[in-house]
Amino acid sequence: MKIESGEIVIVVLHSPREKIWGIVQEISAAGVYIRGIDLNAFNEFVRSAQNGEHLYGFSNIFFPMWRIERLSRDERDGDIPSLLDQFESRTGLRIEEI
């Protein structure tokens, strides 16, 4: 199954190497539009949501295809919850509320 708009994904980029977690807005031959954050900021993002603080860093970003190394769904792996599951269980919020 191909990845569609509205799905939660992890994007691995190169030049420079980055990992982004977020919601796919659009995929085209030119690249991918994501509403998300740098994966390094995930725990701080969750902590801010738990404390009812303004959520900085969750923004709309375009990545050209030449930078994308891998695009994968944020999925549970056996007993290991997805990042989305972790966010929702730790904050009590649904990602759509952000």
pLDDT digits over 4-40, tens only? Answer: 999 999 999 999 999 999 999 999 999 999 999 999 9
Q: Is 3 contained in some domain?
A: no
Q: Is 35 contained in some domain?
A: yes
Q: Is 12 exposed, middle or buried (0-12, 13-18, 19+ CB in 10 A)?
A: middle
| CATH number of the domain enclosing 29 | 2.30.30
Q: Is 31 exposed, middle or buried (0-12, 13-18, 19+ CB in 10 A)?
A: middle
CA distances from 27 to 3, 39, 68, 70 (A): 9, 20, 12, 13
- pLDDT of the residue at 52: 82
State the pairing for strand pair 68-73/59-64: unpaired
Q: Is 2 contained in some domain?
A: no
SS (H, E, C) 8-30: EEEEEECCCCEEEEEEEEEECCC
> What pTM, to 2 d.p., does this model score?
0.90
Q: Is 1 contained in some domain?
A: no
Residue 58 vs residue 13, higher pLDDT = 13
- pLDDT of the residue at 50: 87
Residue 9 contacts residue 70 (beta carbons within 8 Å): no
